Structure 1
Amino acid sequence: MLSVLIVLRTLAVAGALALLVRRMRREVVHRQAWRHYLTAFVLLTAASALESAVVLSGAAVGTSGLLLAVPLRLASTLASLSLYRGVATWFRLREKTLPAGRVDWLVGVSCVLGVAGVANVVLDVPEGVSGLAAQLRWLHVSSLAVLLTALVVAAFRMPAPVRGRARGIAATVLVVAVTQILYVVLGPRTEVVLAAWAGWVLLAVGFGWLSLLPPRPVPREHPSTYAVPVASSAGLLLGLAAVVGAGLRLAEGHWALVFGVAAIAGSSARMVRLVRDLADHDRARRQAGTDDLTGLANRREFLRRLGLHSQAGDPFAVLLLDLDRFKEVNDQHGHAVGDDLLAATAVRLEGALPPGAVLARLGGDEFAAILPGAGTGDAVGTARAMLTAIEVGASIGVADTCGTEALTGTELLRRADAAMYAAKAGGQGVAVHDDAADRAWRRRLALSDDLHLALGPDAAPEAAGQFAVHYQPQVSAAGTCVGVEALVRWQHPRLGVLAPGAFLDVLEERRLMPALTALVARRAVADLARWRAAGHDLRLSFNLSSTHLCDPGLLPLLDELVAGGADPAHLVVEVTETSLMNDPDRALVTCQDITARGFSLSIDDFGTGYSSLAYLANLPADELKIDRTFTSRALADARIAAIVAGTVELAHHLGLRVVAEGVEDTATLDLLRELGCDESQGYLHSRPVPAAEFLSWLQARQGVTAAVR
């Protein structure tokens, strides 16, 4: 009878092992946990096979010798610990951000040792081989108790898809634990042995049933924040109890002392690791909310703090600061210098803020601050103090909650952003949000989106038709039209025709200027080819922005125009004096590459920048254009007229052609001719007009000129 039961037990455990192997091969998410379950049943199968062999050979089942008792108890104890590890892994896998193999193995072992130590204090344990077998039995019972505790915790703490499974396994482990306790207390009676085997058979059946259930998705949840500290504390307390009890019963409590000290050591090591993990977590949390370069709060942390202030309902103000022309610092001096500038700016801004303020770097050259309890006046005063402290050009937008409806933190930041753009556009340094600024910001944002749709990398081919090229003539001193300047107009679907001043700064901001320049140049070159084929000897000028001058796609664009049949001798590339001085060395190299390809180079808006005469002498320019700010005032101001005369004389000595822009009346034109200007351009001759209209103007102009001659 006993032999048959042992064989049945072995078959049940082996069957569960086979089912677990099958499940582990199919499982993906919880494979680590199933691997621990598989290890446990390998040990149980080996123990059952050993027990079956011994019993079938005629040995007594309840022997206390090392031949049967010690291997069985070791295998069963290790199996219980492996099951515990599987449960712990299962529990940990609820939070997928944790490594699957990171389980509290040390906690479980410490608790097992602590329970065994307390049992040694309470119960009398025999000496010798019988004592060793008894200790192994108590370790086994202790491991079952810890496993049962873990399953009970899992049954209540784990999500619903896993909770039912944990309860079923907990019930079978409870049966096994009770039978093992009866085995220890009552001895190896036949009915107790049968009950113990029945418990193991139930456990095998339970895990076999568990392996047959289909996988269920486990929702992502945060694991219990108390499980590990509580379990570590329990192991520590159990170890202390065992050590104290061993001290009270020193003569017969040496096993309790060994187990207690081991439990204390394991729990203490786990507590040390827990403290280290908490410190790492706190450091990671701080780093997640900190900007690496400046040490300030980053955008994520700033938005979190902004939300807290909004929920509190107390008045506060938000400042948004953006450094002016920061990109030019990176372009001219490198990103390392730019990073040093940002770090130094952060230090100075912190010193300019009142106590309790929150300063953050949102990204790039944007900084933001929260001023708790500040009204408009205090916020503006702080903003001006920030500008004074950093000693570099910057624009600050101010928005506050005073006198307004309840605003979310995000909305307040958006208003500060709109005010910052208003400050940058007006050049006033600090601007407070108002409805006009908000509307302007919204228009700017809408323009930015529309420009991206029209010129961005994903723009539809027909969207380029929104941009039209207009032409303004350049007339010689003799009255002959010798050239045209290509100027762009945006035929906006909703806003109508927009001049460049309405959208070029937004275009620069979105880094779409090269796309627009290429579009204008290709169309203008095609129009010029038609005019020259019709017998009109003209040259064509088109502008480069300050950013496009150093763009790597510029020279390939010029090569493309030449490859398409354009004669570079008839094309003039206009660059502003300001763009030349943004990065003089690089700009000089680019200008030399332009003229080396046969294109002419024109210095546009001369007089508005700060270029030195030495730099002007080295520049391979062919033309100099006097800005309208001088030509429009030359007639009324003798000093301005003297500046224009000196500029013309200097340009002629350098071999440059002089074109006066912004000519709107005959008197100004006569003065400019007297001062030596070679050509003029302005509304007096013609406004910028489409290609067909310009051709009509040109034909009429040539007829009038011929009649006069």
Structure 2
Amino acid sequence: MLHLLSVLIVLRTLAIAGALVLLVRRMRRETVARPVWRHYVTAFALLTGASVLESVVVVGGSRVGSSGLWLVLPLRLTSTLASFHLYRGVATWMQLREKSRPAGRVDWLVGLSCILGLAGVLNLAVEVPHGLAGLIVQLRWLHVSSCVLLLGALVLAAWRMPREVRGRARAVALTVLYVLLTQVLFVVLGPRTGVILAAWAGWVLLAAAFGGLSLLRPKQVVREHPTSVAVPAASSVGLVLGLVAVAGAGLHVAPTHWALGLGTAAIAGSSVRLVRLVRDLADHDRARRQAGTDDLTGLANRREFLLRLGQQSHSGAGFGVLLLDLDRFKEVNDQHGHAVGDELLAATAVRLEGALPPGALLARLGGDEFAAIVPGCGAEEAVAVASSLLTAIEVGASVGVATSTGADPLSGTELLRRADAAMYAAKSTGQGVALHDDAADRAWRQRLALSDDLHLALGPDAPAEAAGQFEVHYQPQVSATGAGDVVGVEALVRWQHPRLGLLAPGAFLDVLEERRLMPALTALVARRAVADLARWRATGHDLRLSFNLSSTHLSDPGLLTLLDELVAGGADPERVVVEVTETSLMNDPDRALTTCQEITARGFCLSIDDFGTGYSSLAYLANLPADELKIDRTFTSRALADERIAAIVAGTVELAHHLGLRVVAEGVEDPATLDLLRELGCDESQGYLHSRPVPAAEFLRWLQARQGVPAAVLRDQGVEDARPAPTPGCAAATGSPAGLDEGDRRWPSTCCSSTTAAHRRA
């Protein structure tokens, strides 16, 4: 019998050691699931050590029983710990599959509490001896309890495993069940021959099962949603088992003192884990709220807004979506800093929230953009709410409104898109509030298309030939005294769009500002205009060239680099005039003054465009190193009909002359207006009376004809009609010259190089 026992123990040791080698190799190949196989390796390392120890004792000729407690206790303890690590490996695998975090530092309390609680309950049925003999029995019960826990985890895992490996998982579970039954037989029947053989077979089968499991192809199937009931359910089971053990021990204190201790330990472990679970749930709830909240304003953020918008769109009830964007908010950040901008956003959020009706949701989508969901309202009610929002915040803003009846199939994202299109319509018209309609939607889509096309033509990755889509047209500036000589030109931009044809500036300049492409267009126009100026001077026409800067480009550090490049290329800075609008100067007066001083320090002339529309102070005007002042067309076009306007023009001219500035009157369209401007003292005039903006070659022909070049010479040059042809039809106008003019006038004056007031005139 001893010889047979020795052989069996050695074979069991070899089987367990072989499984350990396979598990170690698998652990080294794993990345994400390495903690799972680390627990398996730990378990089989413990089993291998215990089996080697037993093999040494038995093969050495000593009976197991005579080896004493120094052998039995380690064997029972290692078996219990090994089963516990196998359980932790299965539990960790389930957590990895469910996108949850791996077993944490206190997750082992779940399994340990269940083991202690079950062992305590088993102690109620069997009288446990005192002393070391009782300790051996308790270790056996703990091992049985850990096997029960492992079996439960395997059954749960087998239910969730992919179909192709579910059969092998069930085989492992059956093997564990067999080991569990042999351990129960040991407790009940003692170390009999049949029980020993059964136990030996169980350990060999367990080694074969986990060794075969390690040979499976690595595959991890992730569930869509993490399970939230496994940990609290297991903790509750351990708590209940502990309570049963403690209650039973209270009824039988004398023979079941082990049950009292084990039950108390189970209650303590489960309580600690449940407390940790409650804290985790609180942290999760707080994180969920933070994930849906804007940090600056405390409102819902874009993620939460879109979630609530989707829920509202599926509710079947009517509602409105409002999208609000603050006007000129970037200038607040540029002039006063982001801290002031943040304070403005926080204060705006408070006022908006107070102006919304009960039940509405307000969110900050990002930057200076706010959105609201107003349930149970139609178009009129939504527009009224939008108007109340504008009244509440008392700052410039634009609101787009889109509504749903609940019966239409519109999604939440589609409603938000419509509100966005309406908001841009409100911003472009200056009305403050706009309700979505099909025309606004088409305009919004065209705006997006133009934005993409502009980026393709002027963006950093744009091909060189794409810049050829932009044309530079020129409008002459004529002396208001003497023979009316042409003394200068203003460069104006047009976009020859591949699909839409020739576009006036008003169709794309504001989009260009949004895409931050103004510096690129300014540089393009300035370089071409300077090159045309050089060609004209080579033919004997000594003219002055003007081009405009946008308000944003005035603060761009690349502007001065561009001017230096023009000078390095041969341009005479004294014949180049840089026009800045009065409005752009007042956006950031100190910085604008510094930039203007840098411009004139390089020898360039400085012109104040659109004078009279920006409400600048006379003291600031006196400090500017300007050479020229341009009177806006809003004054010149009304000077004949309104004596008060004529008086303003006369006063402006006198003031400019006292400051040593040249005065250019824009928008001159008829001889009577020109005569009045001469009487009022204007130095130069510019407008349709002289010529519309035309391309460089056509301007040269017009200039030669005006200067009296003989008709024969003009015919030789291919010029049959010296009068300038009208600008081709633009998408932003009606196609007629007057329509083009009116179409440009509607756009704001804060435009870019070769834009602004001249663009609105042209």
With structure 2 as the length reference, what TM-score do the two structures score? 0.90
| Paired amino acid for 1:205 | A
Listed as ranges, the matches of 1:121-136 within 5 Å are 121-136=124-139
| Aligned match of 1:650 | 655
Residues 492-531 of structure 1 deviation map (CA, whole Å, 9 limit, x = unaligned): 1121111111111111111111111111111111111111
Counterpart amino acid of 2:506? G
Q: Is the 8 A contact 1:662 1:681 kept in 2?
A: yes
Match of residue 757 from structure 2: none
Residue 415 of structure 1 corresponds to: 418
Match of 1:298 among 296, 301, 305: 301
**Aligned partner letter, 2:153:** A
Q: Which residue identity lines up with residue 157 of structure 2 in the other structure?
A: A
Q: What letter is aligned with 1:597?
A: R
1:487 equivalent to 2:492? Answer: yes
1:232 to 232, 235, 238: 235
In structure 2, the partner of 1:35 is 38
Match of 2:14 in 1: 11
Residues 519-572 of structure 1 deviation map (CA, whole Å, 9 limit, x = unaligned): 111111111111112221112111111111111221111122222222211211
Letter in 1 for 2:514: E
**Deviation of the 1:625 alpha carbon:** 0.6
Matched residues in 2 for 1:626 and 1:647: separation? 8
Distance (Å, rounded) in 1 between the aligned partners of 2:259 and 2:168:
35
**Is 1:509 equivalent to 2:529 in the alignment?**
no
Is 1:239–1:259's contact at 8 Å kept on the other side of the alignment?
yes
Give 1:238's aligned amino acid. L
Change (3 A) 1:162 1:642: farther
Partner of 2:644: 639
C-alpha distance after superposition, 1:345-371 (max 9, x if no partner): 001101001110011111111111111
Deviation at 1:99, TM superposition (A): 4.4
- Aligned to 1:312, the other structure's residue is in SS state coil
Q: Which stretch has the larger CA shift, 108-117 or 192-201?
A: 192-201
Shift of 1:704: 6.9
The residue identity in structure 1 corresponding to 2:643 is A
Counterpart Cα distance in 2 of 1:589 and 1:97: 58
TM score, norm. by length of structure 1: 0.97
Structure 2 residue identity aligned to 1:588: L
Which deviates more from structure 2 when the two are superposed, residues 409-418 or residues 233-242?
Answer: 409-418
1:357 aligns with 2:366: no
Q: Determine the structure 1 residue equivalent to 2:549.
A: 544
Query: How far apart in 2 are the matches of 1:405 and 1:685?
Result: 57
How far residue 95 of structure 1 moved from its aligned partner, in angstroms, is: 3.5
Partner of 1:439: 442
Counterpart of 1:497? 502
Q: Kindly indicate whether the alpha-carbon contact (under 8 Å) linking 2:99 and 2:222 is maintained by their aligned counterparts in 1.
A: no
Hey, what's the Cα distance between the residues in 2 that align with 1:644 and 1:141?
Answer: 104
Q: Which amino acid aligns with 1:17?
A: L
Q: Is the 8 A contact 2:124 2:248 kept in 1?
A: yes
Q: Secondary structure at the match of 1:293?
A: coil
Q: Tell me which moved more, 220-229 or 49-58.
A: 220-229
Root mean square deviation, CA, Å: 1.7
Question: What is the SS of the residue equivalent to 2:495?
Answer: strand
How many Å apart are 1:165 and its aligned residue?
Answer: 4.2
- Hey, what does 2:244 align to over in structure 1? 241
Report deviation, 1:323: 0.6
Contact 1:73 1:137 in 2 (8 A): yes
- 2:396 — aligned with what? 393
For 1:19 and 1:483, the matched residues in 2 are separated by 89
Consecutive unaligned residues of structure 2, counting only runs of 5 or more, are 712-762
Q: Distance in 2 between matches of 1:359 and 1:192?
A: 72
Q: Deviations over 1:35-88 (max 9, x none)?
A: 111111110000000111111233333469322110001111111111111111
Aligned residue identity for 2:19 = A
C-alpha distance 160-348 of structure 1, shift in aligned 2 (>3 A): farther
Offset at residue 169 of structure 1 (A)? 2.0
Asked if the contact 2:92–2:102 (Cα under 8 Å) also holds between the matched residues in 1, the reply is no
* Distance in 1 of aligned mates of 2:289 and 2:34: 33
Aligned residue for 1:317, secondary structure, equals: strand
Distance 1:29 1:168, change over 3 A: farther
Q: 1:258 aligns with which of 251, 261, 266?
A: 261
Match of 1:458 in 2: 461
SS of 2:69 mapped into structure 1: coil
Task: Give, in angstroms, the shift of residue 304 of structure 1.
Answer: 0.8
Equivalent-residue separation in structure 2 for 1:25 and 1:403 (angstroms): 57
Query: For structure 1, which runs of at least 5 residues remain unmatched after alignment?
Result: none
CA deviations over 1:279-314 (Å, ceiling 9, x no partner) = 111111111111111111111111111111111110
Would you say 1:583 and 2:588 are equivalent positions? yes
> Residue type of the partner of 1:511?
R
- In structure 1, C-alpha distance between the alignment counterparts of 2:245 and 2:407, rounded to whole Å: 67
Aligned mates of 1:366, 1:102 — CA distance in 2? 44
Cα contact 1:229–1:271 (8 A) shared by 2: yes
Counterparts of 1:477-626 in structure 2 under 5 Å?
477=480, 478=482, 479-626=484-631
Any conservation in 2 of the 1:125–1:131 contact (CA below 8 Å)? Answer: yes
Q: 1:114 aligns to what?
A: 117
In structure 2, what is the Cα distance between the partners aligned to 1:150 and 1:103?
18
Contact 1:486 1:524 in 2 (8 A): yes
**Rounded Cα–Cα distance in structure 2 between residues aligned with 1:150 and 1:62:** 34
Distance 1:344 1:59 in 2: 86
1:76 equivalent to 2:79? Answer yes
Distance 1:520 1:164 in 2: 75
Matched, 1:154 2:163: no
Report the equivalent of 2:58: 55
- 1:562-598 Cα shifts (integer Å, max 9, x gaps): 2222221121111111111111111111111111111
**C-alpha distance in 1 between matches for 2:568 and 2:200:** 92
Q: How does 1:348-387 map to 2 (within 5 A)?
A: 348-387=351-390
Q: Is 1:693 the equivalent of 2:662?
A: no
Say whether the 8 Å CA contact 2:581–2:611 is kept in structure 1: yes
Q: CA deviation at 1:396?
A: 0.8
Task: Answer whether contact 2:322 2:372 (CA < 8 A) is retained.
Answer: yes
Equivalent position to 1:278, from 261, 265, 281? 281
| Equivalence for 1:214 | 217
Contact 2:627 2:662 in 1 (8 A): yes
Could you tell me the percent identity over the aligned residues?
Answer: 81
Residues 31-40 or 150-159, more deviating: 150-159
Q: What amino acid does structure 1 have at the position aligned with 2:30?
A: E
Q: Deviations over 1:457-505 (max 9, x none)?
A: 2222222111111111111123111111110001111211111111111
2:99–2:225 CA contact under 8 A, matched in 1:
no
CA separation of 1:100/1:566 partners in 2, compared to 1, >3 Å: closer, same or farther?
Answer: farther
Check whether the contact 1:658–1:678 (CA below 8 A) recurs between aligned residues: yes
Is 1:186 the counterpart of 2:189? The answer is: yes
Could you give the per-residue CA deviations for residues 117-140 of structure 1, whole angstroms, max 9, x where no partner exists?
A: 111112111112211100111111
Structure 1 range deviating more: 599-608 or 453-462:
453-462
Shift of 1:177: 1.0
Amino acid in the other structure paired with 2:429? G
SS in 1 for 2:70: coil
Aligned to 2:346: 343
1:500, 1:542 → 2: CA distance?
A: 14
Indicate if the aligned counterparts of 2:315 and 2:406 stay in contact, CA closer than 8 A. Answer: no
The whole-number CA distance in structure 1 between the counterparts of 2:540 and 2:616 is 39
Alpha-carbon offset, residue 210 of structure 1: 1.1
* CA apart distance, 1:605: 0.6
Kindly indicate whether the alpha-carbon contact (under 8 Å) linking 1:89 and 1:102 is maintained by their aligned counterparts in 2. Answer: no
1:222 CA drift (Å): 2.6
Identify the match of residue 142 of structure 1 among 142, 145, 159: 145
Q: Which amino acid aligns with 1:89?
A: T
What residue is the counterpart of 1:316 in the other structure? 319
Give the aligned partner of residue 671 of structure 1: 676
